[in-house]
Amino acid sequence: MRRREFIAALGYSAANVPLVVHAQSLEQKRHVGILLGLPETDSEGQARYKAFRDGLRKLGWVDGRNVEIVPRWAGNAALLQSGAADLVDLKPDVLVAAANPAMLVLHRATNDIPIVFTQVSDPVSNGFVKSLAQPGGNMTGFTNLPDEIATKWVGLLKDIGGNIKTIGVLYDPNNPSWHGFMRELQSAADASDLQVKPAGVSNELEVDRAFDEWKANPAIGVIVFPSPATTRLRTKIPNAAALNHIPAIYPFRFFAEDGGLVYYGVDNIDLYRRAAEYVDRILKGEKPARLPVQNPTKFEFVISLKTAKALGITVPQPLLIEADDVIE
């Protein structure tokens, strides 16, 4: 619901309420817009949105009572652009950007509405903030995976994949975060004398095309970079890896739950709960310029033994001991 439509509806419903009470209710209700890079039907997107709303509720902000939360869902670049323009037009008290693509369009759309971002990689290099400690502008928030995690992914792939000689990489060419991950991955691959074969993907056909090229190589493993695009393909990618008997490392837990071999990353749902804390502080008067950008504090490691057995892989015992969770 647009801000002006909301105010008009509220005015109609309160026509018989004394003017002073009506004015107080308008003053007390705040408005928060959130731009999500997933379609509304996506279960992961709904889980992130719910975590954010629940986080606000625990801090006393109840949607429909003292705050109006307006989501805009986007399964492609065009919807991101229109969703960002729509939210900025509403002039909310705070905007929330979910991941780099959403942050990019909101960054271009406004430089005065406070923005809290989450799941954003390298906000300094991308020009969103001046520094992590002193953001200095109208935005702050919570980073996603650090670029250096790509080195860990390479190590895990070598440990679990056996005689790996080539690394296939699935990335979203429309998400600039892939550059940092690729730089770190390439460095780690060079140190281990491994070849890198990247493939940009945004749909199922491109995933099939990548695995069709890779399957002829018996010594290949795959690393999937985080992005709304690869999240939307979270069932397709593990299925393609299983069909072609290729081990793969994934950045989010839901990939392992959907049949992926190994997940190493952060609890992305928790990032949305934490984003609610910054929204709360801004609604209470704090400035994003003075709220430091926060990095992830907890990493998770999950192995799917079920998938390993299907791929004919014997997981080394030290990895099983190190894992936070093992899917039987």
129 and 22 within one domain:
yes
| Tally of domains within the chain | 2
User: CA-based angle 319:322:328, to the nearest 5?
Assistant: 70
Residue 261 belongs to what domain range? 149-267+299-327
Sheet containing strand 195-200, strands side by side: 195-200, 166-171, 220-224, 248-250, 262-266, 299-304, 325-327
153 and 136 within one domain:
no
The residues, ordered by sequence, that sit 6+ positions from 191 with a Cβ below 8 Å of its Cβ are: none
The pLDDT value recorded for residue 166 is: 96
Q: Return mean pLDDT, the chain.
A: 90
Whether residue 140 is predicted with pLDDT greater than 70 in this model: the reply is yes
The model's pTM is: 0.80
The 10 Å CB-count burial string (b at 16+, else e) for 86-96 is ebbebebbbbb
The pLDDT value recorded for residue 1 is: 46
Two tokens, residue 111: 């430089």
Share of the chain above pLDDT 70, in %: 92
Whether residue 121 is predicted with pLDDT greater than 90 in this model: the reply is no
219 and 200 within one domain:
yes
The dihedral built from the CA positions of residue 112, 117, 123 and 124, taken in this order, carries a sign that is positive
Mean pLDDT for 157-175 is 92
- The predicted-structure confidence for 213-250, as pLDDT tens digits, reads as follows 999 888 999 999 998 889 999 999 999 999 999 999 99
Whether residue 12 is predicted with pLDDT greater than 70 in this model: the reply is no
199 and 215 within one domain:
yes
Question: pLDDT higher for 13 or 83?
Answer: 83
The pLDDT value recorded for residue 29 is: 92
User: Judging by DSSP bridges, how do beta strands 30-36 and 94-98 pair with one another?
Assistant: parallel
210 and 192 within one domain:
yes
The pLDDT value recorded for residue 9 is: 43
- The predicted-structure confidence for 47-66, as pLDDT tens digits, reads as follows 999 999 999 999 999 999 99
111 and 42 within one domain:
yes
Alpha helices in 18-90 (DSSP H): 19-28, 43-58, 77-90
Alpha helices in the chain (DSSP H): 3-13, 19-28, 43-58, 77-90, 100-109, 149-161, 178-191, 204-214, 228-232, 236-243, 253-257, 268-283, 305-311, 317-322
Mark residue 254 as left, alpha or beta (left: phi above 0; alpha: psi -120 to 50; beta: remaining).
alpha
Beta-carbon count within 10 A of 176 CB:
17
162 and 84 within one domain:
no
Mean pLDDT for 276-305 is 95
Whether residue 117 is predicted with pLDDT greater than 70 in this model: the reply is yes
183 and 129 within one domain:
no
The pLDDT value recorded for residue 309 is: 94
Beta-carbon count within 10 A of 13 CB:
10
The pLDDT value recorded for residue 27 is: 53
174 and 82 within one domain:
no
Are 175 and 229 a contacting pair, CB within 8 Å? yes
Whether residue 28 is predicted with pLDDT greater than 80 in this model: the reply is no
165 and 115 within one domain:
no
Mean pLDDT for 165-176 is 92
238 and 134 within one domain:
no
256 and 169 within one domain:
yes
The residues, ordered by sequence, that sit 6+ positions from 235 with a Cβ below 8 Å of its Cβ are: 258, 259
CATH at residue 173: 3.40.50.2300
Beta-carbon count within 10 A of 116 CB:
26
